Structure 1
Amino acid sequence: MPGSLLETLRGKRAEQVPLWLMRQAGRYLPEYRALRAEKGGFLDLVYDSDGAAEVTLQPIRRFGFDGAILFSDILIVPYAMGQKLEFLAGEGPKLSPTLVDHALLSLEPVPDRLSPIYETVAKVKAALGPETTLLGFAGSPWTVATYMVAGEGSRDQHATREMAYRDTAAFAAIIERIVDVTVGYLEGQIRAGAEAVQLFDSWSGSLAPREFERWVIAPNAAIVSRLRERCGDVPIIGFPKGAGEKLPAYMRETGVDAAGIDETVDPVWAAANLPEGMPVQGNLDPLVLMAGGEAQDAATRAVLEAFAERPHVFNLGHGIGQFTPIENVERLVAFVREWRG
């Protein structure tokens, strides 16, 4: 029998709201830090399928979340496309060569770089009970492109936004290539055992409305359409962080099954404006989870009340912070488990 999370993503309201947290497999857990120290660098751990499977399972063992999110990174796609990928201590990920000077054609694809990720998915799936949904993911084309063009993350995605205006054809070619690889990548995760997938568009909020239509909505719609053709009705969660008032259009036009919403979105507004009956996921502020106490309880209650009439997957509005106290997560899980709207 499918778990309550999977059924919720398919549009059925559950008596008990299912729960998982973005970045739940990560640095706030002591068992993760211990394994990371043993395995070495971040990319080494991602490509150690036994280690990555263990990281994926750690928060399930500790908290009993309803969903296990694959431990990997959105930059695996450009890595498979042929860019060099490094994670430097204190600096974050670095990609080279940068594509701001049209280096796309110089890249030599390395599709075998995706295979260990599929192995991780298969190992996690074999270890999970039927009550826990296995979630795969990929970065959405706009967000992935911002790293490929600039070679690193940036505060306002200046280099990528400027290139998209200055040389639209070259930038469109980058987006198209990312779409192609992402469809195959998500299909591979699903074939290996992922029961639902999420598209992360972490930097979608930096775009003007017309550019949002072109570089966020259209590419994600292409991924959804092609994935449906290949994989049927596997639920797809769209998470365009920072989309704000453009969120309803994204959800209508991309064809995703569920709306992931960030902490800046008023959940009452989202409940009133998103497509009728669409499942929602979110949207507790990760910082209130870090603060804990009565503020956390009040904020959790507000999210649950806002989405009481919709299929709802409780989650954060973005990834859990590294310094979040374990006891605050335990308190959150207990609160959501006890809630009956």
Structure 2
Amino acid sequence: MSAKPILKVLSGEGVWPPPAWLMRQAGRHLPEYRATRAQAGNFMSLCLNPELAAEVTLQPVRRYGVDAAILFSDILIVPWAMGQGLTFAEGEGPRLPPIRDRAGLEALDVAGAAAKAAPIMETVRRVRAALEAEHPTTTLIGFSGGLWTVACYMIEGKGGGEFKQARRLLHQDPAFFGEILAKLEAATLAYLLAQAEAGAEVLMIFDSWAGQLPPSAFRKWVIEPTARLRAALKAARPDIPVIGFPRLAGPMLVEYAASTGVQAVAMDTAMDPVWAAAHIPASLALQGNLDPEALLAGGEALQREAQGILAAMKGRPFIFNLGHGVEQPTPPEHVSALMRLLRTA
């Protein structure tokens, strides 16, 4: 049996107090992150510098004692590695040349993606070695974006909004949309397996825009691709558990949990944890789902919201987390207070 609490939970064990980590825990709310980011120069340079990316991955482990380190990278590394241009404009988010025709699709190079992503794998190796030496009970999580979500960025050329171009394309030309997804799926599978080979112990699939789709499209473009990815990962690396995060899935979370083969589903901020505990089988772990704004507020609001989630989850496999990412203005002291509360739950 593993000594790592998160691996115990993902094997179906109810661990209490529950292990915890936070989405976007390595990021702009930390002064040490901001210093490292300044040293790197820009976001992509930071992602592709194994020494600095490993450093920011480890910063929240050192400061907060969280039970998992999650690789510092971005969900758009896969299209970037396939040759789709990617830039990050300060205050505007990612920008990519949108793929709207066959020429854009054919320019994507799946075979060459592994070589471009090699610095990411070096980061994974460095973090795993550091954790084994300094934090032996801390789990290393690798990740990718969900196929629907990443395809949205690839087609739209940017984030935000309602991704109308991507949604329109899947209705008007589902065959072409499926071709985009097929290339993305092949590259994503290779990317996730490479992380596992480099030392990731858990993989997480962030389908951040799953809630944009109606149920029929959700089944076809979120559940089915995730199930294929999970099956392929299991065939190659049956030892690696997977956490799925179909953000804003609502009641479709139940079907996602039953059909994808993941070991845990992450709840977004809008999910009622009492409802989730009643509808997701106890053999499957849940993760989530504190409102990042409650963490930002701190004090009684933070304590009240955290205790409500703990009460709903007690007795089942559970990983405490946020329902979305840590907000930039969040005082680190509030995160420290949350971790103290969780350790005495």
TM range (shorter): over 0.9
Residue matched to 2:289: 283
Alignment map for 1:214-293 (pairs within 5 Å): 214-293=220-299
Residue matched to 2:189: 183
How far residue 259 of structure 1 moved from its aligned partner, in angstroms, is 1.0
Q: Does residue 114 of the first structure (1) align with residue 128 of the second (2)?
A: no
Gaps in structure 2 of 5+ consecutive residues: none
Whether the 8 Å contact between 1:8 and 1:313 is mirrored in structure 2 is yes
How far residue 302 of structure 1 moved from its aligned partner, in angstroms, is 0.4
Q: Distance in 1 between matches of 2:168 and 2:3?
A: 45
Q: Does residue 172 of the first structure (1) align with residue 175 of the second (2)?
A: no
Whether the 8 Å contact between 2:14 and 2:316 is mirrored in structure 1 is yes
Residue matched to 1:311: 317
How far residue 75 of structure 1 moved from its aligned partner, in angstroms, is 0.2
How far residue 106 of structure 1 moved from its aligned partner, in angstroms, is 2.4
How far residue 275 of structure 1 moved from its aligned partner, in angstroms, is 2.2
Q: Distance in 1 between matches of 2:136 and 2:160?
A: 40
TM-score, scaled to structure 1: 0.97
Where 1:313 maps in the other structure, the secondary structure is strand
Q: Tell me how many residue pairs correspond in the alignment.
A: 338
How far residue 130 of structure 1 moved from its aligned partner, in angstroms, is 2.0
Q: Distance in 1 between matches of 2:129 and 2:75?
A: 23
Residue matched to 2:13: 12
How far residue 108 of structure 1 moved from its aligned partner, in angstroms, is 3.6
Note the alpha carbon deviations across 1:77-124, whole angstroms, 9 max, x for none. 00111101101111111112x112332012344321211111000000
Identity of aligned residues (%): 48
Residue matched to 2:161: 155
Where 2:94 maps in the other structure, the secondary structure is strand
Residue matched to 1:99: 99
How far residue 21 of structure 1 moved from its aligned partner, in angstroms, is 0.2
Q: Distance in 2 between matches of 1:6 and 1:318?
A: 22
How far residue 15 of structure 1 moved from its aligned partner, in angstroms, is 2.8
The residue identity in structure 2 corresponding to 1:82 is: G
Q: Does residue 58 of the first structure (1) align with residue 59 of the second (2)?
A: yes
After TM superposition, the structure 1 stretch with the greater mean CA deviation from structure 2, 274-283 or 286-295, is 274-283
Q: Distance in 1 between matches of 2:326 and 2:226?
A: 25
TM-score, scaled to structure 2: 0.96
Residue matched to 2:36: 35
Gaps in structure 1 of 5+ consecutive residues: none
Q: Does residue 201 of the first structure (1) align with residue 202 of the second (2)?
A: no
Q: Does residue 125 of the first structure (1) align with residue 125 of the second (2)?
A: no
Q: Which runs of 4+ in 1 moved over 4 A?
A: none
Where 2:316 maps in the other structure, the secondary structure is coil
Where 2:302 maps in the other structure, the secondary structure is helix
Residue matched to 1:71: 72
The residue identity in structure 1 corresponding to 2:199 is: G
How far residue 136 of structure 1 moved from its aligned partner, in angstroms, is 0.3
Instruction: Give the root-mean-square deviation of aligned CA atoms.
Output: 0.9
